[in-house]
Amino acid sequence: MSDMNKKTVDPGKDNRKIKSVSRMKEIMTHYYIDAKTARESGKKVAWITSGGPVEPLIAMDVIPVYPENHGAMVGASKMGVDLCQKAEEMGYSSDLCSYARADIACAATQGGPIGGLPEPDFLVCCNNICGTVLKWYEVAARYYKVPLFILDTPFIHREMRKEAQQYVMSQIEEYIAFLEAQCGRKMDYDRMTDVGRLAVEGLRLWQAVLDTAAHKPSPITAFDLFFHLGLIVTLRGTQVTVDYYQGLLDEMNERIANNIAMVPGEKYRLLWDNLPVWYKTRWLSDKFASHKACLVADTYTSAWSGVLPLIDEDRFLETMSLSYSQVYINISHDMMIDKLSEMIRKYDADGLVMHSNRSCKPYSLGQYDLQKMVMEQLGIPTLIIEADMVDERHFAESQIETRIDAFMETLKS
Amino acid sequence: MNTKITAGIDIGSITAKAVVMEGDKILGARVQFTGYTAKKAGRDVFDGMLGEIGMPPDRVECIVSTGYGRNSIDFADKAVTEITCHGAGAWFVNPEVRFVVDVGGQDSKVIRLDDSGKVVDFAMNDKCAAGTGRFLEVMARALEVDLDDFGELSLAGIPAKISSICTVFAESEVISLIARGETRENIIAGIHESAASRISAMARRVGLVLPVMMTGGVAKNKGMLAALEKKLDAPIQVSEYAQVNGALGAAILAARM
């Protein structure tokens, strides 16, 4: 009876397929093969948190591996529940982040979509995204008996004081010394400068891809961005990433020129907040599309390039202390609402959909306050859906369906 | 004058409701248990209602379905969520109403309306049936009290403290209160207070605006009404069509199509 269940002939479907997807899959496959065969090729592997400074690793020829990216793969391949349960059997609380639970279980059982991650030579943990990573990485350090480097970024309320900048800067120096000790060679600062430039170039191109969604109708949705985000997280600072996003940007511009809408008949433009619900992206995407609603942007995929104004590519290492401390979830609600308002204006959003993510406490804390601020200051309706990024046991489909349908009915009325 | 004949069908988790209208006039209404299949319940409650008033089904020009089973009613012209329908139903009964509290079988919802009856914001209970009709049903069973007497008994008690928000754990709490010799009335009052706290927290989150109307099957429960009035610190109107309010709203929306 709902629009979703009606079978309709859709001649534009092939046109809407993003061609870059296959290239992305190819790059990611190569990347994981390289990481899994690092021992044979004499390379080091470092596990690093999603918001961590990867550029020095790239400059030192270390292969970065992201347990969180892996967690997203677990979620997308719907293996989350089994792995989370396994971790709970091991004694971890069901309230622990589902990325952490899934990853710990994969490490212990060589399970998951790629049979576990390649073992790390050392670990790099930056707490700009949450406090859970500290304990999670300590567990990994004990399990693999490898050294752990912790980069502590202070929470930013309004502005980053000089003392705080110096505090982070001194840790970045320690970080480089740590890498030199682990790799048994000195940092090549010319190489580091090149990597910094490539990182900035990649971030600019990624932001340009995100900006194409400001066009009406949008050539891309947040559900697509969740997938294409992969490289800006994992391989920032490499030529392959720059080339990939240049290709994706060209494709998006071509779609704009040909007026190809990702959501046929786009009528409503929505913003998404928080991580994706990885195991339900297709369902949610179809659900919103059935209401002719396009999720044009989100606070998550824009978090990496959101710090671009803080980076000086000629002083990349120095400005890293600013950019890594001020990522979207390490800032106050006052700063978040500024960013949200900017996005709502830029993408001309009609509504905001917030995923209250049981796993990600720092991202979800205060969403009700943000919701109130958005409704009062910007006058746009918001919807909160309660779920989890990986653990499907926290997703109640019919309840969420009713909420989305009701939200869309209020938007339409 | 609008003489279009329309119907609304509301398939809830426990009961199925139907309303048939001619313009602004309610011609018939029916409530029955949903049972195993939503689809069959929809057909039965619709046919049963029309049978009662002797109306052939082909006279009904437009049908809107709502509730959990809304998408299984294949003979409906449109499916609309219970949020929009409850808003429309309450608005029809009294256009002064700005806030609707609907407590049904497995969900409770609060809806804020604007001057024109449009839904501005809403909230529903999430993944948990505390503060719903089912919660009260489970408790009535644990206390061996008929659900119809449950509200009345509650008015005679001083609320005993029920701290668990989980229906299952609250049931064990009730059992230990019984063991400690707490009176039945006090326990029942405590149960109503606990459910009302959950609902009032949702209402405050959305932003309470007066006047408030309560709809849904639980609106028949006087104890719940009193507990909610106390928690919200506001008088609550009860629609005479409380239990069929969702179906009523659906029939009204069908008239606008």
Give the mean pLDDT of chain A: 94
- CA of A402 vs chain B CAs: smallest distance (Å): 6
Contact between A399 and B79 using a beta-carbon 8 Å cutoff: no
3-state secondary structure chain A: CCHHHCCCCCCCHHHHCCCHHHHHHHHHHHHHHHHHCCCCCCCCEEEECCCCCCHHHHHCCCEEECHHHHHHHHHHCCCHHHHHHHHHHHCCCCCCCHHHHHHHHHHHHCCCCCCCCCCCCEEEEECCCCCHHHHHHHHHHHHHCCCEEEECCCCECCCCCHHHHHHHHHHHHHHHHHHHHHHCCCCCHHHHHHHHHHHHHHHHHHHHHHHHHHCCCCCCCHHHHHHHCHHHHHCCCCHHHHHHHHHHHHHHHHHHHCCCCCCCCCCEEEEEECCCCHHHHHHHHHHHHHCCEEEEEECCCCCCHHHHHHCCHHHHHHHHHHHHHCCHHHECHHHHHHHHHHHHHHCCCCEEEEEEECCCHHHHCCHHHHHHHHHHHHCCCEEEEEECCCCHHHCCHHHHHHHHHHHHHHHHC
How far apart are alpha carbons B89 and A296 in whole angstroms? Answer: 34
Residue-number span of the structural domain to which A171 is assigned: 16-412
Q: Give, rounded to a whole angstrom, the gap between the first and last alpha carbons of chain B.
A: 16
- Please give the interface size between A and B, counted as residue pairs whose CB atoms are below 8 Å apart: 55
- Please write down the HEC assignment for all residues of chain B: CCCCEEEEEEECCCEEEEEEEECCEEEEEEEEECCCCHHHHHHHHHHHHHHHHCCCHHHCCEEEEEECCHHHCCCCCEECCHHHHHHHHHHHHCCCCCEEEEECCCCEEEEEECCCCCEEEEEECCCCCCCCHHHHHHHHHHCCCCHHHHHHHHHCCCCCCCCCCCHHHHHHHHHHHHHCCCCHHHHHHHHHHHHHHHHHHHHHHHCCCCCEEEECHHHHCHHHHHHHHHHHCCCEEECCCHHHHHHHHHHHHHHHC
Average pLDDT value for residue range A305-314:
94
Does B249 have pLDDT greater than 60?
yes
The pLDDT of residue B164 is above 80: no
Please check whether residue A120 lies inside any domain of the structure. yes
Residue pair A296/A218 in contact (Cβ under 8 Å)? The answer is yes
Would you place residue A1 in the very low, low, confident or very high pLDDT band (cuts 50, 70, 90)? very low
* A179-183: long-range pairs with CB below 8 Å, 24+: A179/A56, A179/A57, A179/A60, A179/A62, A180/A60, A182/A44, A182/A46, A182/A62, A182/A121, A182/A122, A182/A147, A183/A44, A183/A60, A183/A61, A183/A62
Residue A289: name the closest of A252, A260, A264, A259 by CA: A264
Domain assignment present for residue A192? The answer is yes
Q: Would you place residue A2 in the very low, low, confident or very high pLDDT band (cuts 50, 70, 90)? A: very low
Cβ-based neighbours of B140, under 8 Å, separated by 6 or more: B146, B147, B150
* Percent of chain A scoring above 90 in pLDDT: 94
| Cross-chain CB nearest to B81 (options A386, A396, A406) | A406
pLDDT > 70 fraction of chain A, expressed in percent and rounded: 98
Contacts with A357 from chain B: Cβ below 8 Å: none
Chain A interface with B: residues with Cβ < 8 Å: 1-2, 5, 368, 375, 381, 386, 394, 396, 398-399, 402-403, 405-406, 409-410, 413
Q: Does B68 touch chain A (CB under 8 A)?
A: yes
In this structure, what CATH number is given to the domain that contains residue A108? 3.40.50.11900
B 133-172: CB under 8 A from A: none
Confidence of residue A8 (pLDDT cuts 50, 70, 90): low
Average pLDDT of the segment spanning A110-134: 95
Q: Give the other-Cβ count within 10 Å of B23's Cβ.
A: 12
Residue A385 — very low, low, confident or very high, per pLDDT cuts 50/70/90?
Answer: very high
Distance of CA A55 to the CA centre of its chain: 17
Is residue A48 within 8 Å of A60, Cβ to Cβ?
Answer: no
Mean pLDDT for A231-243 is 96
Do the chains contact at B68 and A386, CB–CB below 8 Å? no
In a domain, A335, yes or no: yes
Residue A149 falls inside a structural domain: yes
Answer whether residue A2 is part of any domain. Answer: no
- Smallest Cα distance from B152 to chain A, Å: 32
A1 falls within a domain = no
Mean pLDDT along residues A160-171: 95
Angstroms from A303 CA to nearest CA on chain B? 28
Q: What is the mean pLDDT of residues A123-140?
A: 97
CA distance A289 to A4: 8
* Number of structural domains found in chain A: 1
Residue A370, CA atoms < 13 Å, CB-side half-sphere: 28
Of residues B170 and A27, the one with the higher pLDDT is A27
Q: Please, which pLDDT band fits residue A7 given cuts at 50, 70 and 90?
A: low
Residue with tokens 């929306």: B253
Asked whether the predicted pLDDT for residue A6 surpasses 70, the reply is no
Residue B15, pLDDT above cutoff 60: yes
Q: Residues with Cβ < 8 Å from B119, sequence gap 6 or more? A: A406, A409, A410, A413, B83, B84, B87, B111, B112, B113
Q: Region A117-129: what's the mean pLDDT?
A: 97
pLDDT in tens, A276-307: 999 999 999 999 999 999 999 999 999 999 99
- Residue B253's CB is within 10 A of a number of other CB atoms, namely 22
Contacts of A410 in chain B (CB under 8 A): 83-84, 118-122
pLDDT digits (tens, 9 = 90+) for B71-100: 999 999 999 999 999 999 999 999 999 999
B126 interfacial to chain A (CB closer than 8 Å):
yes
Q: Is A259 left (phi over 0), alpha (psi -120 to 50) or beta?
A: left
Name the phi and psi angles at B75, rounded to 5: -90, 5
Residue A3 lies in a domain: no
- B106-160 pLDDT per residue, tens: 889 999 999 998 999 999 887 777 778 888 888 898 888 888 888 889 999 999 9
Q: Model confidence over A333-372: pLDDT tens digits?
A: 999 999 999 999 999 999 999 999 999 999 999 999 999 9
Please report the domains of chain B, with CATH numbers, ordered by start residue.
1-94+241-257 (3.30.420.40), 96-238 (3.30.420.40)
Six-digit token string for B250: 């659906």
Q: What is the mean pLDDT of chain B?
A: 92
In a domain, A7, yes or no: no
